[in-house]
Amino acid sequence: MKKIFLSTLFVASSIFASINIDSTYSTMGAVAKKIGGDLVKVTVLGSPKYDPHFIVPKPSLLAKLRKADLLIMNGGGLELGWLPPLLRSANNPKIVNGAKGLLDMSHYVNMIDVPKTVSRAFGDVHAQGNPHFSTDPHVVLTMAKAIKDKLVEIDPTHQQNYETNYQNFTNKWQEFLSKFDAKMQSCGTKKVVQYHELFNYFLTRYKIKSYGTVEPLPGIAPSSKHTLELIKTMKENGIKVILQDVYHEKKTAKFIANHTGARVAIIPHDMGADESETLEDFYNNIEQKICQ
Amino acid sequence: MKKSIIFSTMVISSLFADTSISQMKKELELQKANMQMLEQKIENLSKNQNSSVNKSASFSQKSYLPDIALILNMSAVHRDVKNSDFENFALPGFIDAGEAELPFNKDRGFNFNYAEVAMSSTVDPYFDAFAIFHLHPDEFEIEEAFIRTRALPNGFRLKAGKFRSAFGRLNEKHQHSWHFDSQAIIYKALFGPDMISDPGVQLQWVAPTDTYFMLGAEAFQGSNDRSFGDTQNNNLYVTYAKTSIDLSDELSMLTGVSYAQGKNNVNGSNPTKIYGFDLTARYQLGSYSAITWQSEYLKRDKDIKTRVDKQAGLYSELIYQYNNNYSMGLRYDAITKNETDLSTYAGIDTSGLKRYTAMVEYHPFPMSRIRLSYMHDKTKIINNQRKDINKVMLSINIAAGAHGAHNY
């Protein structure tokens, strides 16, 4: 009896042998879980509480990378400050640059804000374009397709499962998008400023114009001169909403709000950065906070 | 295509007998206009396609250039000991007068410490290469140059070349990434400014466990004559184990034990054994703010035939990163054991060898750093007298170009 139990357990576990997926950020991780279902175990490396450029390269992340079959990264330079040294020391040939198990999402997304010239004189500019595409709910479809194709490539025996999950998920997501886009149609907010150019994909998608950033240059802390200029721009253009992320200091935005009568909207940049637990919640929260 | 659409529209419209002819005509006009717009679009697209034909130089290798970074380090120093006296300091039991190598911040006044050129590149699917050329004002040095595997299975990684040992915590890190400009006393005492850095090979293995666990073994020539120096053969072997746990999302810890065994060249060839223990804890207060506590204890048993010297020391540093721009830190250094022949210092108090360092640093951007530090040093003998040294220093470090991110 015992033996039978043990052997069935053994067989069972080999049937449900799962693919270990590491995702650098939470939104891509959530999409991977939708496509992989029970066949995958998803670990998110960078907590959405923190600035995605400055994830702490904790050695515990090495243990997670060591066991990964697939690493989904955002790309576009977003992980440049923390992922390369971890990848070098995790000693996992499956997920190094050039291996089948590395999926760089930026290769599948139409990158916007690609600079014509790049120099650090302009601050922390990403040569490949703005890497913060996760804020656009339409990009979820691009992510789903790329992840499905990758999973089929590295685990072809479960192709049917991945295709089915993909179909189900994209059908649901299309439904969500048509409702979401309709809601955005009636969004009253048409002009904003933001702390960092985190929300450009969302803003471009829904024709909301961003008039500037609280930081004078990407990655450079606010200066009084720049803040005063921004206040002037906001007054001239009647801008009433400041998009603030969860991780930067909030003092400057509050100061600007006090001088312009604008409202500070704290917008999640990634699923779970606020209280959102699902992809739907994440995008609905962005919509509510911008349009309220 | 055009014709069939027009035709079908005609058929459909003819079905609705009550539709007036003028309306039909209007619709047709509209469709024609639409069609023309589409044709124009297709034409534009095909034009664009033609212009994106690759016309790059036939033998261009630009995309294969290695990542190149330039690191510059300089300082202004105020110290209450003359340069000529300071150069001849002794650290009793470890460094005799005039023996010290002082590559960094040696002079009162201005120091240009180094310009470093770091290059790294993926060689092919199997190897990465890395080199750092350390240029003093009148010296060229290959500080590190090695190749590293990128495709070994089962968690193994092999490195070969001239490189810094991963012994302990500080040994592997370059000077510009230390939290203090001056080297920890125990490292300076046991290895000098070059640390354990030699031609050799390294094998590291990361365990496939949920908790990070890494084992490493290295073989070196052993040319560092502070502790080793018998280079008749590859005489230095280093091994270590490191592990890390996260006590919470915010609090992470890294700890390790290290062991080095080599041969010194004092009175022939005799064994030197060095034991190390390191512990780092980091508490994250936000994206840009953290408290880091890092400590190491090193102990050396150096057999020189006539006796076995037993010496040990430690450093402990606490760093508070306030935000993206400001950090501050305190460090305590001590020699805790000094069982050796101290007869040359007869009549001089050689106990209580300690040093205190404090620093505040400003980063205008992650690539640049200005650091102000104060040091009270009670480890030195100058002109046969125990002399406490006070030093104030302003240092500047920049890392320009494609400089890779640092480890934890």
Q: Which of A178, A198, A231 is the last residue of a domain?
A: A178
Q: How far is A139 from chain B (nearest CA, A)?
A: 24
What integer pLDDT is reported at residue B39 of this predicted model? 83
User: Do A59 and B286 lie within an 8 Å CB cutoff?
Assistant: no
Return the residue in B150, B243, B287 with the most chain A beta carbons within 10 A, the one to mutate for interface testing: B287
Please report the DSSP string for A80-138 in residue order.
TTTHHHHHHHH--GGGSTTSTTEEEGGGTS------SS--GGGSS--TT----GGG-TT
> Which of chain A's residues have a Cβ under 8 Å away from the Cβ of B240?
none
- Residue among A49, A50, A54, A60 with most chain B CBs within 10 A, to mutate: A60
Contact check, Cβ <8 Å, A59/B249:
no
Out of A134, A151, A178, pick the residue that ends a domain.
A178
How much is the pTM? 0.87
Closest-CA residue of A relative to B288 is: A54
Domain boundary among A139, A159, A178: A178
Considering the domain architecture, whether residues A26 and A100 belong to the same structural domain is answered as yes
Residues of A in contact with B157 (CB under 8 A): 89, 91
Same domain assignment for residues A48 and A129:
yes
Residues of chain A with pLDDT under 70: 1-17
Q: What gap in Å lies between CA A249 and CA A245, rounded to an integer?
A: 9
Q: With 80 as the cut, is the pLDDT of residue B7 above it?
A: no
Note whether B122 contacts A47, CB cutoff 8 Å: no
Long-range (24+ apart) CB contacts under 8 A made by B136-142 are B136/B103, B137/B112
Point out the residue among B128, B209, B287 whose CB comes nearest to the CB of A63.
Answer: B209
Q: Is the distance from CB of B362 to CB of B326 less than 8 angstroms?
A: yes
Whether residue A268 sits in one domain with residue A170: no
State whether A54 and B287 contact (CB < 8 Å): yes
A247 vs B156, B246, B286: nearest CB: B286
Residues A120, A254 within the same domain: no
- DSSP-assigned letter for residue B229: B
Range of the domain at A69: 2-178
Residues A123 and A252 reside in one and the same domain: no
Q: Do A219 and B366 touch (CB under 8 A)?
A: yes
| Nearest Cβ partner for B405 among A80, A90, A221 | A80
pLDDT, one tens digit per residue, over A181-231 is: 999 999 999 999 999 999 999 999 999 999 999 999 998 999 999 999 999
Adjacent-strand bridge partners of B401: B69
Q: Could you give the residue ranges of the DSSP H alpha helices within chain A? A: 2-15, 26-36, 59-66, 83-90, 139-154, 159-185, 200-205, 224-237, 251-260, 279-291
Paired strand residues for B365: B368
Q: Which residues of chain A make contact with B207, given a CB cutoff of 8 A?
A: 63, 66
B403: three-class secondary structure by DSSP: coil
State how many domains chain A has: 2
Mutation for A interface: B206, B368, B398, B403, most A CBs within 10 A: B206
**Residue from the list B152, B211, B288 with its beta carbon closest to the beta carbon of A63:** B211
Alpha carbons A158 and A178: distance in angstroms, whole number: 30
Tell me, letter by letter, the H, E, C secondary structure of B54-117: CCCCCCCCHHHCCEEEEEEEEEEEEECCCHHHHCCCEECCCECCCCCCCCCCCCCEEEEEEEEE
**Would you state the pLDDT for residue B19?**
56
Task: Please check the confidence at residue B14 and state whether its pLDDT lies above 90.
Answer: no
Phi-psi region of B305 (alpha: psi -120 to 50; beta: other; left: phi over 0): left
Span B182-201, pLDDT tens digits = 999 999 999 999 999 999 99
Distance of CA A203 to the CA centre of its chain: 15
Average pLDDT on B102-117 reads 94
Task: Return the residue of A nearest to B242 by Cα.
Answer: A59
- The predicted pLDDT at position B293 comes to 98
Q: Are A85 and B405 in contact (CB < 8 Å)?
A: yes
Please check whether residue B291 is in contact with residue B319, taking contact to mean a CB–CB distance below 8 angstroms: yes
Does residue A215 share a domain with residue A119?
A: no
Shortest Cα distance, chain B CAs vs residue A176, angstroms: 31
Burial classification of residue B129, based on how many CB atoms lie within 10 Å of its CB (0-12 exposed, 13-18 middle, 19 or more buried): middle
Strand partners, A41: A20
Same domain for A238 and A136 = no
pLDDT at B408: 87
Q: Which residues of A touch B206 (CB under 8 A)?
A: 62-63, 66, 89-92
Are the beta carbons of B244 and A60 separated by less than 8 Å?
Answer: yes
CATH, residue A223: 3.40.50.1980
Q: Which of B148, B404, B408 has the CB atom closest to A58's CB atom? A: B408
- What is the number of other CB atoms lying within 10 angstroms of the CB of residue A18? 15
Q: Are residues A160 and A287 in the same domain?
A: no
Nearest CB to B325 within list A123, A221, A248:
A221
Whether residues A152 and A225 fall in one domain: no
Angle at A266 between CA A264 and CA A272, to 5 degrees: 175
Complex ipTM: 0.88
Using the beta-carbon criterion (under 8 Å), do A50 and B287 form an inter-chain contact?
yes
Residues B314-346: tens digit of each pLDDT:
999 999 999 999 999 999 999 999 999 999 999
- The answer to whether residues A134 and A105 belong to one domain is yes
- Tokens 């390269």 -> residue: A57
Residue B22 has a pLDDT of: 80
Distance CA A279, CA A268 (A): 11
Closest residue of chain B to A122, computed from CA coordinates: B365
- Same domain? A149 vs A252: no
- Helices A279-291 and A159-185: angle between axes, nearest 10 degrees: 10
Q: What pLDDT, on the 0 to 100 scale, is given for residue B30? A: 85
Biggest CA pair distance of chain A: 80
Q: Which two tokens stand for residue A159?
A: 């192709």
* Residue among A47, A54, A62 minimizing CB distance to B249: A47
CA distance B41 to chain A (A): 20
Q: Do A201 and A107 share a structural domain?
A: no
Mutation for testing the B interface, residue in A66, A73, A119, A247 having most B CBs under 10 Å: A66
Q: How far is A247 from chain B (nearest CA, A)?
A: 6
Q: Do A91 and B206 touch (CB under 8 A)?
A: yes
Q: How far, in whole angstroms, is CA B111 from its chain's centroid?
A: 22
